[in-house]
Amino acid sequence: MRRKLIAGNWKMNTNINSANELVSSIIEKIEGREPKSELLVCPPFTNLSSVNELIKDKNISLGAQNCEYRDSGAYTGEVSVEMLISVGCKYVIIGHSERRQYYGDTDEIINLKIKQVLKHNLTPIFCIGETIEDRNSGNTFKVLENQIRKAYQDIDKNDLSKIVIAYEPVWAIGTGVSATTEQASEAHTWIRNFLNENYGKESSNIRILYGGSMNEKNSFDLLSCPDIDGGLIGGAALKLESFISILNNAETTYKN
Ligand code: 13P
């Protein structure tokens, strides 16, 4: 069975004090527990190092929200995968719709970033998702297919199963309007079948997360869907009680 991944994408929120405070509270809440799900926090770059100090030896993993695809050099303002490794990151979010929309992360750049993350044995969390226009014009699956095909270009089949996919419909991100269980389930099943048909049987191990206004209320139903293997959570991951409720809901979905 795939282990669920409950991931907080903090986006451009928290400073060093509030990040430490939030993660310390999460640690307190899960102290003494061995969750069946994996817990992941993705703070801004500037807080990775201090958060890492706090979560060392705890049941929480660390991820970054982006990276540069080159190794090192004269790339002012960029952060390499090696740098992320040096502060304890195990995951890197790649191709978030906000990066696609505001920072020019094209499918080609996303492909290069995924390769770079895999080269260093970290796990990419590769984001895909349609806009409301795509959905309304019946193009959802065409868009998802295109995003996957381009991002997976020239990646070794053995490496593909290491990628975590996050299905994040753009219209559900930060809007308070999550995809319905039926919409999310349909998309996740489509993604799973597409991967199985095009990239081989190993794809059945790939974790596919749902992201887009996941919260304490809708998470149980979403996380109960057979092809939804966790959540990539924005707003609700910044609220301690909400994030822990989502984790608790994930825990109750296991059938033992
Ligand atoms: P919200 O949970 O705030 O909608 O954000 C989702 C997201 O973009 C996670 O990457």
Residue 213 CA, closest ligand 1 atom number: 4
Residue 159 pLDDT greater than 80, yes or no: yes
Q: Which two tokens stand for residue 47?
A: 């807080």
pLDDT tens for 220-233 read 999 999 999 999 99
Q: Is the pLDDT of residue 256 over 70?
A: no
User: What are 134-153's pLDDT values in tens digits?
Assistant: 999 999 999 999 999 999 99
Q: What pLDDT shows up at residue 1? A: 77
Annotated active-site residue in 68, 98, 168, 188: 168
The residue whose C-alpha atom lies closest to atom 2 belonging to ligand 1 is 234
Is the CB of 233 inside a 6 Å radius of any atom of ligand 1? yes
- Ligand 1 centre to CA of 181 (Å) is 16
Q: Does the Cβ of 96 fall within 6 Å of ligand 1? A: yes
Q: Is the CB of 40 under 6 A from ligand 1?
A: no
Nearest to 160 by CA among 96, 117, 220: 117
* Nearest-atom index, ligand 1, CA of 172: 4
Ligand 1 pocket, residue 7 CB under 6 Å: no
For residue 93, the surrounding DSSP H or E stretch is strand 91-94
Pocket test for ligand 1, best of 213, 217, 218, 239 (most atoms within 8 A of CB): 213
Assess whether 82 carries a catalytic annotation: no
Task: Output phi, psi for 54, to 5 deg.
Answer: -75, -35
Q: Does the annotation count 96 as an active-site position?
A: yes
| H helix count then E strand count, the chain | 11, 8
pLDDT band at 255 (very low <50, low <70, confident <90, very high): confident
Q: What is the arithmetic mean of pLDDT over 184-206? A: 94
CB of 95 shorter than 6 A to ligand 1: no
Cβ of 235 below 6 Å from ligand 1: yes
Tell if the pTM clears 0.85, that is, is over it: yes
For the record, the structure tokens of 234 come out as 């924005």
| Dist CA 211 CA 119 (whole Å) | 26
Of the candidate CATH numbers 3.40.50.10490, 3.40.50.80, 3.40.50.2300, 3.20.20.70, the domain formed by 5-251 belongs to: 3.20.20.70
Residue 201: the pLDDT is 83
Kind and range of the H or E run holding 232:
strand 230-233
Tell me how far apart the alpha carbons of residues 44 and 47 are, in angstroms, rounded to a whole number.
6
Please give the pLDDT value at position 167.
98
CA dist 81 and 56 (Å) reads 19
Give me the mean pLDDT over the 160-166 stretch.
96
On whether the CB atoms of residues 253 and 216 are closer than 8 A, the answer is: no
Q: What is the pLDDT of residues 20-29, one digit of tens each?
A: 999 999 999 9
Residue 41: predicted pLDDT: 98
Instruction: Please give the Cα distance from 26 to 243 (Å, whole number).
Output: 8
Q: Residue 226: what pLDDT? A: 94
Burial (CB count <10 Å: 0-12, 13-18, 19+), residue 211: buried
